[in-house]
A = this chain, B = another copy of it.
Amino acid sequence: MAYDAIETPFGKTDWIVGGAATYAAYAASNFIKPVNQVSIVGYDFAKEEMDELKKRGVNLEGVEVVKDKKSFFWSGRYHLDMNTRDTLVTDLNVLTDFNPVIPDSYQGSEFLMLGNVLPSLQISVVQQLKTRPKLIAMDTMNFWMDNALDDLKRLLTMVDVLLVNDSEARQLSGQFSLVKAAKEIQKMGPKYLVIKKGEHGALLFHKDQVFFAPALPLEEVFDPTGAGDTFAGGFIGHLAQTRDVSFENMKTAIIVGSAMASFCVEKFGPIRLKEITKADIDGRIRQFVDLVNFDIELI
């Protein structure tokens, strides 16, 4: 949970709530309550935002508030193609002290999504849970592949689903072909692999099966910040709601995640995620059905 300053070709904001856990919670809370949040914020994190999250069924007991430090802050500028961005500022602030403690009330959580932080912290969260969740999914990034690969590899043996983008999948596996990368990564632990390709959609791999979900072609991507985290929130939210971790249901979870991400990019930060209704989400999912649905008769 953090604050961001974002510049895109369409506008600029100097101070907007952000952070992977914020986006994921806003997305997941449409499908499952409570969302047991684990994070750290500073004295500057707005009470209104906390209240908004609570109202949506996000349990904040596991969110540490540090009285004398600021929240994590990130500032970036997107290029015209919206696929690439320059980081202008990264102020770790409270994140340097992050040592997640799982509240007793969170014990028994069945679906765990590990956001992108230091792999040793992700491991600590898994180890604090007395009963192994039904499903553990995780995000990570290239930075940890460069700087904490041993911990990352250890963590990979503990999880069911890895969500990464295409360049991260290539780096982790040493394979350029995503099909080959998926095979290598499954050998490292996760039985399910989601490779996110931004505007080009997402792939789900499991054994020899593969599923592809497109991104919705949009007139305008206003701000891509948080789209991947929103995707992850929708994905785990759908799985937790249905309590079904089959490959078939994971396909649906990918579509739900893609639908949530397609809302996220329409306005700055998580603004759009706070506006949408159940009807909006259902309508968007129907658009995905129309987008890929075809009848074929083999003659």
CB nearest to A286 among chain B residues: B298
Indicate if A251 sits at the interface (CB-CB under 8 A). Answer: yes
Set of chain B residues within 8 Å of A255, measured between Cβ atoms: 294, 296
Of A85-93, A96-104, A105-113, A211-219, the one contacting chain B is A211-219
Asked if A197 lies at the interface with its beta carbon under 8 angstroms from chain B, I say yes
Complex interface residues of chain A between 178 and 233 (CB less than 8 A to chain B):
178-180, 197, 200-201, 203, 209-214, 217-221
- A176: shortest Cβ distance to chain B, in Å? 7
A296 touches B285 (CB 8 A): yes
A128 on interface, CB distance cutoff 8 Å = no
Categorize the interface residue count of chain A: 35 or more
* Majority SS at the chain A contact face: mixed
- Centre residue among A200, A209, A282, A296 by max chain B CB count within 10 A: A296
Question: Taking the nearest CB of chain B, how far is it from the CB of A32, in angstroms?
Answer: 12
The CA of A19 and the CA of B177, in the complex, are separated in Å by 27
Whether B252 lies near A219 (C-beta < 8 A) is no
* Pairwise interchain contact B203-A212, C-beta atoms closer than 8 A: no
Whether A14 sits at the interface, judged by CB under 8 Å, is no
Top 7 A-B pairs, shortest CB-CB distance:
A200-B200, A251-B294, A212-B214, A292-B292, A179-B219, A282-B298, A179-B217
